Amino acid sequence: MMSRLIALLLATAAMPLAAQQSPPPPAAEAVTHVLAGRLIAVPGQAPRGPSTIVIRGGRIAQVLDGHQRPGDGSAVIDLSTQTVLPGLIDSHVHLASDRAGQEGLLADFTESDQLSAYETLWNARKTLLAGFTTVRNLGDEGSALALRDAIARGWVEGPRIVDAGRSISTTSGHMDARLGLAEDLRDHPGTENLCDGPDDCRRAVRIQIGRGADVIKIATTGGVNSRIGAGLGAQMFDDEAKAIVETARLYGKKVAVHAHGADGIKLALASGADSIEHGTLLDDDGIALFRKTGAYYVPTLSTVNGYLERIAANPDAYPPDVRAKIDWRISITGQALAKAVPAGVKIAFGTDAGVSKHGRNADEFELMVKYGMTPAQAIAAATVNAADLLGLSAEIGTIEAGKAADLIAVQGDPLTDVTTLKRVTFVMNGGRVAKAAE
């Protein structure tokens, strides 16, 4: 394990950040004309009618009205019967596994790091084919860090990855992987991501920075999947959270915060968090802090789909302490979003895929609309807003000249039926066709 982590660190340190975040473009002279029947170029703005997107060297060169077929023999992709929109962005995934509960725990102890790396690639591929051309991977042992770089080098195909390295919490907090293990197994997961007290928390952040993390992920509260009956309230002191945020800022990194309980949400926002993940027990004071700080809320509603599916297949998929929290999470899903939307809280799309299923990320849209968002708002959350949260607005999130050629297409109108986004027919990532329209 240690030799693998050293290799990952050396490979990541040698690559510029810009290269890590963008897949390599096709040859500079390659020109493609994409004919769109309808174009949602800038989600949140009125869609355009028939349009032509001119792509050169993996980037958008022009967006023209009407269907402009080239006369120079350039490639043409005919999507003239479909709606074209920007590649989607999932702000909260865990690519390393599609298994959870007892099955996931068993895999941690019986499968190799090398096999885990292939599973990470498999999940990334499913995600890309579902129309998600960028993801923010919020915590695993390191396979997604390596995959991020392999995708950027063009060695394998997958979505652009913004990666958090290993998630940070206090000892016995949500990210303590030793919870629920027998004493003789507790050394297996490692503890470099755990911290207690401000100085120790600064150390934990610096370790992830050294591994090449693009963003820092922490937990200020307990978690649904934590194998401990310690509830979902705050499990980090404010001086610890502030030390983490201050250290991340020192290195130019944003901070994503896992938080369920209202106390942990407010603690994180007051400390300068850039996003709150889950936010299940959001209250009025928390909403006021969201509006004051401009932080994003990432609801991750579709976790409930993963829970329900696994429990239906195996009622004992989760240990009793975890199952009790899951039942509660299912019962309260969507209530925080229903408060946040009319209050004007900024929303970014995120699924927690890995708890929900990879490749079914678009299930989140249906739940976002169910609990208070319009289809247009939900699409903006997965494009314009998510790009802003990830600090990539200059690169992705809209179909405009100068940006990466990340495009998807669907039959029908997602602005009236958001479930069409579950059936993506075409995917282009950085000018390269990952899924061709039939």
CATH of the domain at 77: 2.30.40.10
Whether residues 336 and 287 fall in one domain: yes
Q: How far apart (Å, rounded) are the C-alpha atoms in residues 399 and 60?
A: 7
- State whether residue 45 is helix, strand or coil: strand
**Dihedral-angle region of residue 412 (phi above 0 means left; psi in -120 to 50 means alpha; beta otherwise):** left
**Per-residue pLDDT for 321 more than 80?**
yes
8 A C-beta contact, residue 414 and residue 39: no
Whether residues 180 and 82 fall in one domain: no
pTM over 0.85, yes/no? yes
**Per-residue pLDDT for 188 more than 70?**
no
Whether residues 122 and 238 fall in one domain: yes
**Per-residue pLDDT for 22 more than 60?**
no
Whether residues 37 and 132 fall in one domain: no
Whether residues 80 and 131 fall in one domain: no
Whether residues 419 and 350 fall in one domain: no
| pLDDT tens string 55-96 | 999 999 999 999 998 878 889 999 999 999 999 999 999 999
| pLDDT tens string 392-427 | 999 999 999 999 999 999 999 999 999 999 999 999
Q: Is residue 21 part of a domain?
A: no
8 A C-beta contact, residue 331 and residue 73: no
- State whether residue 249 is helix, strand or coil: helix
Q: What's the pLDDT score for residue 177?
A: 63
Whether residues 319 and 354 fall in one domain: yes
Q: How far apart (Å, rounded) are the C-alpha atoms in residues 396 and 88?
A: 9
Instruction: Count Cβ atoms below 10 Å from residue 112 Cβ, excluding itself.
Output: 8
Domain that holds residue 49: 31-86+398-435
Q: Is residue 423 part of a domain?
A: yes
Q: Tell me the sheet residues that pair with 83.
A: 38, 410
Q: How many domains does the chain contain in total?
A: 2
